[in-house]
Amino acid sequence: MATVQFFNQFPCKTRVQCPSNSKPLSKPPSSLVPMSALTRRPSFSPGEFAVSRSDFRVRVIDAEDELDPETSEGGGSALLMAEEAIESVEETEVLKRSLVDSLYGTDRGLSASSETRAEIGDLITQLESKNPTPAPTDALFLLNGKWILAYTSFVGLFPLLSRGIVPLVKVDEISQTIDSDNFTVENSVLFAGPLATTSISTNAKFEIRSPKRVQIKFEEGVIGTPQLTDSIEIPEYVEFLGQKIDLTPIRGLLTSVQDTATSVARTISSQPPLKFSLPGDSAQSWLLTTYLDKDIRISRGDGGSVFVLIKEGSPLLNP
Residues 191-238 pLDDT 10s: 887 777 888 999 999 999 999 999 999 998 898 887 776 555 666 666
Report the C-alpha gap between 104 and 120 in whole angstroms: 11
The yes-or-no verdict on residue 112 having pLDDT over 60 is yes
The yes-or-no verdict on residue 13 having pLDDT over 50 is no
Beta bridge partners of 286: 215
295 domain-assigned: yes
Q: What is the mean pLDDT of residues 7-23?
A: 45
Rg of the chain over Cα atoms, rounded to whole angstroms, equals 39
pLDDT value at residue 297: 97
Report the C-alpha gap between 306 and 289 in whole angstroms: 10
37 domain-assigned: no
Count of domains forming the chain: 1
pLDDT value at residue 75: 62
Strand positions, DSSP E, 193-318? 196-208, 213-223, 227-228, 237-240, 243-246, 274-277, 284-292, 296-301, 306-311
> What's phi and psi for 129, nearest 5 deg?
-70, -15
- Angle (CA) 164-310-223 rounded to 5° is 50
Q: What is the mean pLDDT of residues 284-295?
A: 93
40 domain-assigned: no
- pLDDT tens digits, one per residue of 252-269: 665 566 556 656 666 666
What is the residue type of 243?
Answer: Q
Higher-pLDDT residue of 108 and 304 is: 108
In which domain, by residue range, is 291 found?
A: 90-311
Beta bridge partners of 292: 297
pLDDT value at residue 24: 47
The yes-or-no verdict on residue 43 having pLDDT over 90 is no
214 domain-assigned: yes
pLDDT value at residue 250: 60
126 domain-assigned: yes
